Amino acid sequence: MTGDPTELQQVVMNLGTNAAQAMNSRGVLEIALDMTEIVEAQALSHGNLPAGRYIRLAVRDSGSGMDQATLERIFEPFFTTKPAGHGTGLGLSTVHGIVAAHRGAVDVKSQLGQGTTFEIYFPQIEPASAQADEGEGEATEVPVEYGNGETILVVDDDTPLMQLAEEMLAALGYEPVGFDRSPAALNAFSADPGRFDLVLTDEVMPDMTGVELSGKLHEIRSDLPIVLMTGYGRTLR
Ligand SMILES: Nc1ncnc2c1ncn2[C@@H]1O[C@H](COP(=O)(O)OP(=O)(O)OP(=O)(O)O)[C@@H](O)[C@H]1O
Ligand SMILES: [Mg+2]
């Protein structure tokens, strides 16, 4: 697809912030990107989706969810259920505007007490026409957040990938500590749980999967932020 990186980042940020707020900062936030083909035109919660190929961004949370009355108004400018001073109610109307400008559509599913899933569909553009649109070598810079020496536990059974992640994190100003065996990572963490600010772990690993490792880490330190990654398309549960 073609799009404005700053605007697309804003979409992810606004949906992610809402999700975090709906979970009171505790719960599971899942962000996924995949490609999908819609064979027959579909009605979504907020608009219609013509048949075609789409890039789908899903932001799922295990938070408070919404009732039907709220769900019907979420994209209205200044609609908020948050106390005064906590929300302007502009987050989702901004998302809606950006998605519309990219000729996309939004589907929202929510259940009170269970959580919410926002799915954004962006029309897929054939590489040839995308190139024609972009012009030669006109890559747009995406602003990057730098770390401040925070210690990140990196776990991936694929050693070269783990090392690559370490290098990238170090270049971004973080202090990575990598392991290619999940039990070894667990040992290092148990030895000094306060040392780590974040865990970045692969899901599909022998000995202990990322989800299993996360459970054990959370038994030791329940407030530890963990980011699960996987190159496999299956849903994490
Ligand atoms: N993931 C979510 N779970 C539960 N409710 C949500 C979620 N996302 C949005 N909402 C509801 O939709 C309303 C509007 O969201 P929107 O992002 O537009 O505004 P806000 O978050 O209240 O304020 P702002 O984003 O301007 O700080 C929220 O107040 C909330 O009631
Ligand atoms: Mg918001």
Any domain includes 237? no
120 CA distance to ligand 1 middle (Å): 16
Same domain, 57 and 12: yes
Q: Hey, which bits of 94-150 come out as E strands? A: 105-111, 115-123
Query: What is the per-residue pLDDT for 63?
Result: 96
Any domain includes 139? no
| 105-111 vs 115-123, strand pairing mode | antiparallel
| 198-202 vs 151-155, strand pairing mode | parallel
Same domain, 214 and 125: no
Query: What is the per-residue pLDDT for 142?
Result: 64
Number of domains in the chain: 2
CB of 178 shorter than 6 A to ligand 1: no
Same domain, 90 and 205: no
Compute the distance between CA of residue 130 and CA of residue 2 in angstroms, rounded to an integer: 6
Same domain, 126 and 10: yes
Same domain, 123 and 176: no
Same domain, 157 and 82: no
180 CA distance to ligand 2 middle (Å): 38
Query: What is the per-residue pLDDT for 230?
Result: 83
Same domain, 52 and 83: yes
Question: Greatest CA span in the chain, whole angstroms?
Answer: 55
Any domain includes 144? no
CATH number at residue 172: 3.40.50.2300
Tell which of 80, 101, 134 closes a domain: 134
What is the extent of the structural domain holding 14? 5-134
CATH number at residue 41: 3.30.565.10
Same domain, 125 and 172: no
CB of 82 shorter than 6 A to ligand 1: yes
| 105-111 vs 42-44, strand pairing mode | unpaired
pLDDT digits (tens, 9 = 90+) for 89-136: 999 999 999 999 998 999 999 999 999 999 999 999 866 555 455 444
Query: What is the per-residue pLDDT for 232?
Result: 67
Best residue for ligand 1 mutational test, from 13, 29, 45, 92 (most atoms within 8 Å of Cβ): 92
Q: How confident is the model at residue 86 (pLDDT cuts 50, 70, 90)?
A: confident
CB of 22 shorter than 6 A to ligand 1: yes
Atom of ligand 1 nearest to the CA of 70: 31
pLDDT digits (tens, 9 = 90+) for 156-173: 999 999 999 999 999 999
198 CA distance to ligand 1 middle (Å): 26
Q: Name the more confident of 26 and 41.
A: 41
The mean per-residue pLDDT over the stretch 26-44 comes to 93
Any domain includes 195? yes
Residue 63 tokens read as 């938070």
Tell which of 109, 134, 159 closes a domain: 134
The mean per-residue pLDDT over the stretch 1-14 comes to 92
Q: Which ligand is nearest to the CA of 17?
A: 2
CB of 73 shorter than 6 A to ligand 1: no
Same domain, 117 and 39: yes
Same domain, 109 and 191: no
Same domain, 12 and 95: yes
pLDDT digits (tens, 9 = 90+) for 47-81: 889 999 999 999 999 999 999 999 999 999 999 99
Indicate which residue's Cα is closest to atom 1 of ligand 1.
19
pLDDT digits (tens, 9 = 90+) for 190-230: 999 999 999 999 999 999 999 999 999 999 999 999 999 88
Query: What is the per-residue pLDDT for 168?
Result: 93
60 CA distance to ligand 2 middle (Å): 14
Q: Tokens 């290092």 label which residue? A: 188
Tell which of 108, 134, 160 closes a domain: 134
